[in-house]
Amino acid sequence: MLSHSRRVLTSISATFSLDEVISAVKSGDMMRFRRTTEYFLAHTNEDGSNNKIMSVISNWRDEKGGTVLHWLCRNVRCTKAHSGDDLVHSVVKYAAELLCIQDSQLKLPLHIAVEKGEVLVCRVLKLLQLGSPICVRDRNGHAPLDIAYTYGNGSIVKLLLNSGATFHELLDSEEK
């Protein structure tokens, strides 16, 4: 029985690909991501697999130049279980620099979550808790506070202000 288990694990390990990590993220399924990364770490840890997972997550880009976090903010909705937010947290654990990377429109993941409005309030909160920059402007010159204010999203405006955004930036952009 034990040798059979080893053969099964060996054959599974031989077919495992780091692309499965990205596929798990894109599925929006936190449990699948957790199982995939834990499995990969458990079966390939002797060769720096943690660094490989970090590299795959850090280097993946979509057609808009966005990272895995951009993709999550665009495509994975909040649920009562907050599994999408847990997934954001786990991805940032492997690649915190993704919070600061801008896509081709110079948007951070935070810009995208703010644009989604009330649908992603919990995602905005999670990104802020994880240390996302809040005053970065996109290609149109908009900071996340500008977007929340323009869309009339008071709860996100409050979150951003409580996290250090100021109306000075908003007033500066309105004067231009």
What sign results for the dihedral spanned by CA atoms 79, 83, 84, 86?
Answer: positive
Q: CATH number of 2-131: 1.10.287, 1.25.40, 3.40.50, 3.30.70? A: 1.25.40
- In this predicted model, what pLDDT tens digit does every residue of 57-101 receive, in sequence order? 889 899 999 999 999 999 887 777 777 788 899 889 889 999 999
Every domain of the chain and the residues it spans? 2-131
- For residue 147, pLDDT over 90 is answered with yes
What is the structure's pLDDT at 6?
A: 33
Report percent pLDDT > 70 for the chain. 81
What is the structure's pLDDT at 13?
A: 42
Asked if 43 and 9 touch (Cβ cutoff 8 Å), the reply is: yes
As a whole number of Å, the end-to-end CA separation of the chain is 72
What is the structure's pLDDT at 152?
A: 93
What is the structure's pLDDT at 1?
A: 38
Average pLDDT over the chain, rounded to whole? 81
What is the structure's pLDDT at 84?
A: 78
